Structure 1
Amino acid sequence: MNRKKMVPLILFFIFLVVFAFFIPVNTSFTFTEHRVENPKTFYMPLNSENKFQIRYVHSIHLTEVIESYEVTADQEIRLLSMQYENMAIGLPGYAEEGETFSLQDGVYTLTYDDKVIDSFVMLIGDVDAELAFVYRDEELNLKKQLVRGKSYTFRVAKLSLYQMLKGVTIDG
C-alpha cells in the first residue's frame, strides 16, 4: 500500500479508538462527591444481578437497618423495602400511599409498591457505626472506601473507559 492510502486509514483508526474511549458502555454503581468543585467518582461495575442493599446501624438506636433496592432496565433505582427493629427518629412508623407497613417477629418492614428514583444523596457519617453496600452476597464497607463526613450522590450510570480511568473503583 502506498503512503497516500495509509495515512487516511491510520487517521481513521486513531479516530475510532479515541471515539470508543469516550462512549459510555460499562454500567456501574456510582458514588460521586456531592457539592464539591471537582467531584471524584467512585464506582463498582454492575453485572447481571440487579438487586442490592444498603445496610447500616442507625446512629441513635444503634440497631440495624436494611434498605433493599433493584436496578431497573432504564438504569433507575427501584425501592423495594426497608427493615428495622426500632421506630423513632428518621424511621417511618406508618405507610404512605403506595407503601405497605408490617411488623413480624419484632422487625418492621416498609415495602414500596413501585417507587423509582434516578439517584439519592448519601452522607458517610463520621461516627463509628456500620455502613455497608451489599451486592452479589458481598459486603463493601463504605466507611473504608469513601470519605467520612462527605456526601455522595448514588446512581446507576454507564461509564466510558475515560470516566473509569478518571474514577476510583471500589470493587472490594
Structure 2
Amino acid sequence: MNKKTILILLICCIFCIIIAAIPLQQAIVFQPNYTNDKLAYIPVKNGDNFKIKYTHSIHLSDVIESYKVTLSQSIQQYELVYEDFSIGMPANAAAGEIFEQQDGKYYIKNMKLIFPFFHLRIGQVRANHRVIFKSKEYPLSRSLQPGISVKVEIRKLNFFEQWRGVNILESL
C-alpha cells in the first residue's frame, strides 16, 4: 500500500471512532451507583411514557409509578397507583393533583413532579421491580443485579455506551 491509501484508511478509522463517540440515542438509563456493573437502558423518544412497578415491602401489594420523558430530557411523574394506605404511601393528592379510588385501588393523577434523575434500589427479595414500556413488563433483575442502587435518568448514549450496556428491551 502506498502512503496515500494508508492516510485515507487512517482518516476513515478516526472518523468512525469520532462518530461512534457522539451521543445520539436518547434512553432511560439505569446507571449502577458505587459499582462497575454495566448500565441498562431503554431507547426512548421525547414524550414516551414508562412505568416502574414494584411490590411494596410492607403491604405486599403492587405500586405503579407512571413517568413521561420531557423535551428537556427530564422525567415527569404523572400518576401513582397503589392498593393500601399506610407507611410510605400518600393519604391524599397535593395541590392541583386528583385523588381517586377505583376498583379497590387508589390513584393520584395529574402529577407534575419533574426530576432530572432519581435513585432506585433494585429489590432483592419482594420488590420485584419491573419497567413497563409500551404495555410490556421487563423485570429489572434480568438486566441489573438485585440489591444495587441505580441512578435513573434520561440521557443520550453513544455507540460505545450502548455496546457495553444492556438494552432492557432485548434482555428477555
If the TM-score is normalised by the length of the shorter chain, which range does it land in? 0.7 to 0.9
Query: Identity, % of aligned pairs?
Result: 32
Displacement of 1:9? 3.2
TM-aligned CA distance change 1:49 to 1:117, over 3 Å: closer
TM-aligned CA distance change 1:14 to 1:145, over 3 Å: closer
1:144 alignment partner in structure 2 = 142
Report the Cα distance in structure 1 between the residues aligned to 2:138 and 2:89, rounded to whole angstroms.
23
Report the Cα distance in structure 1 between the residues aligned to 2:45 and 2:112, rounded to whole angstroms.
23
1:137 maps to amino acid:
S
Displacement of 1:119? 1.0
Report the Cα distance in structure 2 between the residues aligned to 1:145 and 1:123, rounded to whole angstroms.
13
**Quick check: 2:45–2:69 contact (8 Å CA) kept in 1?**
no
2:86 maps to amino acid:
A
1:80 to 54, 78, 81: 78
**Quick check: 1:31–1:43 contact (8 Å CA) kept in 2?**
yes
Q: What CA deviation, in whole Å up to 9, does each residue of 1:25-61 have, x standing for no partner?
A: 111221111133x353112222577011111121211
1:170 to 161, 168, 171: 168
CA RMSD, 1 decimal: 2.2
Which runs of no fewer than 5 residues in structure 2 stay unpaired? none
4+ residue segments displaced more than 6 Å: none
**Quick check: 1:84–1:107 contact (8 Å CA) kept in 2?**
yes
1:15 alignment partner in structure 2 = 14
Q: How does 1:95-134 map to 2 (within 5 A)?
A: 95-134=93-132
Give yes or no for the alignment of 1:29 onto 2:28: yes
2:59 alignment partner in structure 1 = 61
Report the Cα distance in structure 2 between the residues aligned to 1:39 and 1:118, rounded to whole angstroms.
22
TM-score normalized by structure 2? Answer: 0.86
Q: What CA deviation, in whole Å up to 9, does each residue of 1:101-138 have, x standing for no partner?
A: 23233321112442211111111122134321100121
2:91 to 90, 93, 113: 93
Stretch deviating more after TM superposition (93-102 or 136-145): 93-102
1:155 to 149, 153, 156: 153
2:117 maps to amino acid:
S
TM-score normalized by structure 1? Answer: 0.86
Which runs of no fewer than 5 residues in structure 1 stay unpaired? none
Q: What CA deviation, in whole Å up to 9, does each residue of 1:64-92 have, x standing for no partner?
A: 11111111122211111001111111111
Stretch deviating more after TM superposition (135-144 or 98-107): 98-107
Q: What CA deviation, in whole Å up to 9, does each residue of 1:4-24 have, x standing for no partner?
A: 654543333222111001000
